[in-house]
Amino acid sequence: MSLLNNIRVVLVNPLYGGNVGSICRVMANTGLKQLALVTPSNLNLQEARMLACNAWSIFEQHREFATLAEAVADCGLVAGTSVRPGLYRAHARSPREWAPTLLEAARKAPVALVFGREDNGLSNEDLTLCTHFIRIPSTPEYSSLNLAQAAMICCYEIYLASNEFVPGAEKSPEAPAELRERMFAMWEETLLAVGFMEREKALHMMLGIRRIFARGLLTVDDVKILMGMARQMRWKIDRLAEHAPDAFPDGTE
């Protein structure tokens, strides 16, 4: 079972349906499924559904609780988000720092990721139920974040730390040196043929071109495409030279 299934997003007294709907979408984006609402206000469900898009099923399966204590009663680790400083919040860490800890704890018991209401955040009473504090890095000049945006940052870091995202692999292998050299030789002759450079300066110019291509991985498919371009250009140059030989530098036909 995915550890993400054991991460519960808890919203304490959310005020706006748009934020709740947006968080449903965030959860769907990051593989989280458990949503708990603690005494939600009279939410605009039409707004929530609109912003949830295709993640409305997460809202349909959410659970509601009268208190935060009830919402996290079965949880081992409870991570509360707070921007407030204070002596007892000095051990607050960023979502990126806490994410591995939350996932490790999720092996043994449900883990709660708790967010306060939009205008006041989590109360001191709520924070007493938290075992860990999360503070999202932001500038001192304006440290308050939108609820849905804060949830996106936290859920993203947890999802990234889970290693469940597998980026697409390059299907073509890296081009070997012999193939790359054939490509450079073709392009050198083609660039000479169009008069882009003079033969005595070709080495210098080709070093610059090689430098451009050395900045990233060249696959076999990449090189074959570039060779095909050079081949087609040279074929076109030869055909044009047959009809207008004076249009090209001497000795390049």
Question: Domain check: are 185 and 146 in the same one?
Answer: no
Among candidate residues 136, 161, 186, the one where a domain is terminated: 161
Question: Domain check: are 192 and 90 in the same one?
Answer: no
| Helix and strand numbers, DSSP H then E, in the chain | 10, 6
Question: Domain check: are 113 and 153 in the same one?
Answer: yes
170 falls within a domain = no
Task: Name the helix (H) or strand (E) containing 77.
Answer: strand 77-81
How many Cα atoms sit within 13 Å of 253 on the Cβ side? 10
Domain of residue 51, CATH code: 3.40.1280.10
Q: How many domains does the chain have?
A: 2
Expressed in angstroms, the distance from the first to the final Cα of the chain is: 67
- Structure tokens, 8: 């519960």
Question: Domain check: are 11 and 101 in the same one?
Answer: yes
Q: At what angle do helices 95-105 and 147-161 cross, to 10 degrees?
A: 60
Owning domain of residue 113? 3-161
Among candidate residues 161, 193, 212, the one where a domain is terminated: 161
Question: Domain check: are 157 and 181 in the same one?
Answer: no
The C-alpha atoms of residue 231 and residue 3 are separated, in whole angstroms, by: 53
Q: What is the DSSP letter of 37?
A: E
Q: What is the DSSP letter of 170?
A: P
- Structure tokens, 38: 């603690």
Among candidate residues 117, 134, 161, the one where a domain is terminated: 161
CB 234 within 8 A of CB 193: yes
Quote the pTM value: 0.77
Domain of residue 222, CATH code: 1.10.8
CB 73 within 8 A of CB 43: no
Q: Are strands 111-115 and 7-12 parallel, antiparallel or unpaired?
A: parallel
The C-alpha atoms of residue 184 and residue 166 are separated, in whole angstroms, by: 34
31 falls within a domain = yes
SS3 248: coil
168 falls within a domain = no
Instruction: State the pLDDT at residue 251.
Output: 47
Question: Domain check: are 19 and 85 in the same one?
Answer: yes
CB 16 within 8 A of CB 148: no
Question: Domain check: are 11 and 127 in the same one?
Answer: yes
Instruction: State the pLDDT at residue 247.
Output: 59
Question: Domain check: are 96 and 183 in the same one?
Answer: no
| 3-state SS string for 98-147 | HHHHHHHHCCCCCEEEEECECCCECCHHHHCCCCEEECCCCCCCCCCCCH
Question: Domain check: are 30 and 153 in the same one?
Answer: yes
167 falls within a domain = no
Question: Domain check: are 190 and 234 in the same one?
Answer: yes
The C-alpha atoms of residue 95 and residue 137 are separated, in whole angstroms, by: 9
Instruction: State the pLDDT at residue 224.
Output: 95
Question: Domain check: are 97 and 216 in the same one?
Answer: no
Q: Which stretches in the chain have pLDDT values below 70?
A: 85-90, 245-253
Neighbours of 120 (CB within 10 A): 10
171 falls within a domain = no
Torsion of CA 15, 101, 89, 147, to 10 degrees: -20
143 falls within a domain = yes
Look at the chain and count its residues.
Answer: 253
252 falls within a domain = no
221 falls within a domain = yes
pLDDT in tens, 136-193: 999 988 888 999 999 999 999 999 999 998 888 889 999 999 999 999 999 999 999 8
The C-alpha atoms of residue 251 and residue 231 are separated, in whole angstroms, by: 18
At CA 121, angle to CA 118 and CA 126, rounded to 5?
135
